[in-house]
């Protein structure tokens, strides 16, 4: 009898183990920035101080919808952005919380400015100024438009 209950509990818990959480760009805005000196580059950078809500997703599988950007132009560096290329963090007035650096499991077929939905593991990057503050790995995606 106990064995049957354990099986039922395992089956009920299974979907939550593999589920991902859909985050919005408002969720990703749970961050403040403070200037800190960086010895490597001999300059001050605005470094992130992540809020408690977004910290709870660090290392977890998430889903985000945004604009696909190939910022390298060669298919080597990809971002998902809250905004299209013309008004993204690098080209417009948006902040660093509006982009996610993504590493796909397989090279994606998407083109810049297509709206995509991506799923992967979120990493909060506090210290490495050579990468974005938000990084997703093991990413898969699908075209939305």
User: 78-126: per-residue pLDDT in tens?
Assistant: 999 999 987 766 666 678 899 999 999 999 999 999 999 999 999 999 9
Confidence label for 33 from pLDDT (cuts 50, 70 and 90): very high
pLDDT at 5 exceeding the cut of 60: no
Q: Where are the domains of the chain?
A: 19-143
CA angle 39, 99, 128 (to 5 degrees): 20
19-143 folds as OB fold (Dihydrolipoamide Acetyltransferase, E2P) (2.40.50)
Closest CA to 72 of 115, 129, 109, 112: 112
Whether pLDDT at 4 is above 90: no
Q: Which two tokens stand for residue 72?
A: 């390298």
Q: Full-prediction pTM beyond 0.85? A: no
- E-strand spans in the chain? 21-22, 31-38, 43-50, 61-70, 78-81, 99-104, 115-124, 134-143
Please tell me the distance from the alpha carbon of residue 125 to that of residue 37, in angstroms, as a whole number: 16
pLDDT tens, residue by residue, 56-69: 999 999 999 999 99
């Amino acid at each position: 009898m106990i064995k049957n209950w354990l099986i039922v509990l395992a089956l009920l818990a299974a979907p939550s183990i593999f589920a991902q959480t859909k985050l919005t760009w408002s969720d990703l805005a749970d961050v403040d920035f403070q200037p800190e000196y960086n010895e490597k580059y001999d300059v001050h950078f605005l470094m992130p101080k992540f809020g408690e809500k977004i910290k709870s997703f660090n290392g977890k599988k998430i889903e985000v919808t945004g604009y696909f950007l190939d910022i390298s132009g060669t298919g080597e560096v990809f971002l998902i952005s809250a905004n299209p290329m013309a008004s993204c963090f690098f080209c417009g007035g948006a902040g660093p919380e509006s982009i996610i650096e993504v590493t796909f499991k397989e090279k994606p077929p998407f083109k810049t400015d297509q709206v995509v939905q991506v799923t992967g593991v979120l990493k909060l990057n506090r210290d490495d100024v050579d990468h974005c503050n938000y990084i997703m790995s093991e990413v898969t995606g699908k075209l939305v438009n």
